[in-house]
Amino acid sequence: MKDSNIAVFDIGGTWFRSGVYIKGSDLAELSKAPAYNYKNTPYDKVVELQLKLVDYLVEQVQSYQSKGIDIQGASISMGAALNGHTGEILNSGPLWGPECEPFDLLEQLQKRMPEINWLVINDVSAALLRHVNDPEYQKAKRVNLITVSSGIACRTYDQKGHYVPLNKDGIQGEIGHIPIHFSLFGEIITEDCDCGGANHLNAFVSGRGITKILRRLLNSKTSPISDTHLFNKLQNLEETELNKAFFDVLNEDDPEAVKVLDQVTFPIAEMIINTFTIDAEVEKVIMTGGVVHAAEDRYMKSLLVNLEKIGLYQTTDQTAFFKDAVRLGVNDDNSGLLGAAIAFENKER
């Protein structure tokens, strides 16, 4: 890598993370700030939110420079569907909502700070790059990573070719925007995704989707969780407090919370079964993201139960197969930042 100090960013729908990657010394100057998103930031037009992101990125680089840190390159792990060939943002429902329009973030950054060598990469691709060189994944032909946070997506890495395959539009693995039939305690329910689409996977089992499900259960006159410990813990809470309270109760092994989780992980299990069925060279699936790490062991146990319930055709020892193939990713908030650094290094070679 030509530049010894690289500003790195991990841009999600809930948090903006940043730091400096110093070659040979890992990460420094780590910081985290609430994201400028359509739910928490006043705006008239979506472009105002998009330009606030540009301001944040530029100001962070300038702050590093003001400390005497020589920054000539910056790499952004972006929580959005983007064209991996050009860096253009195609859509980011969690950040910019249902009225989101495509945005050429790379072009805007190059205009503002042309002296900086900018790179924009999808955040799931970045997280995958962080993991693929770990010993337990190096021998797998293909490695898939699924992130479940304010949005949901996956990416597959080809170990032989050392690349993430993309289609002609520069995208891959946007499973969060696949329409599904979601059942909650036996009732098919409908919800809109942040992107405006109807009944997308994101709308039900992402972090924001879980909030909607919990609110529905609390507001229902015939709620299946009425008069339970879970219901009592969640009632009267604000929207922003629901998920944390839910995961707190879940981590106490509350039976009603486990039932809710099992319904949340079922569609993810279906996606994993489809992946193994369609692409026989995928040998490992890594699970990560804020929702997964909020209840790591319980989330993975629930996912395993649903994988076995659905089953993989002609696989004899289902339990052994899924336990070996579906793994929990690293939980340290740094995957996006480190993946962005790796992507920048790969670009500079």
Strands 89-91 and 81-82: antiparallel
Q: Which residues pair with 183 in a beta bridge?
A: 188
Query: Are 37 and 49 in contact, with CB atoms under 8 Å apart?
Result: yes
The CATH fold assigned to 5-122+333-348 is Nucleotidyltransferase; domain 5 (3.30.420)
Return d(Cα 115, Cα 38) in angstroms, integer.
31
Same fold, 5-122+333-348 and 129-328: yes
Quick one: pLDDT at residue 346? 85
Strands 81-82 and 152-158: unpaired
The domain segmentation of the chain, as residue ranges, is 5-122+333-348, 129-328
pLDDT in tens, the chain (349 residues): 444 799 999 999 889 999 999 876 789 999 999 999 998 999 999 999 999 999 999 999 999 999 999 998 999 999 888 998 888 999 888 899 888 889 999 999 999 999 999 999 999 999 999 999 899 999 999 999 999 998 899 999 999 999 999 999 999 999 999 999 999 999 999 999 988 899 999 999 999 999 999 999 999 989 999 999 999 999 999 998 999 999 999 999 999 999 999 999 999 999 999 999 999 999 999 999 999 999 999 999 999 999 999 999 888 799 999 999 999 999 888 999 999 999 998 886 6
Could you report the per-residue pLDDT of 307-335, keeping only the tens digit for each? 999 999 888 799 999 999 999 999 888 99
DSSP states along 245-281:
HHHHHHTTT-HHHHHHHHHHHHHHHHHHHHHHHH-TT
Quick one: pLDDT at residue 2? 45
Closest by CA position to 27, among listed 301, 246, 335: 335
Closest by CA position to 48, among listed 37, 35, 34: 37
The per-residue pLDDT of the chain, averaged, comes to 93
Quick one: pLDDT at residue 175? 96
Return d(Cα 189, Cα 68) in angstroms, integer.
55
CATH class of segment(s) 129-328? alpha beta
Return d(Cα 173, Cα 188) in angstroms, integer.
25
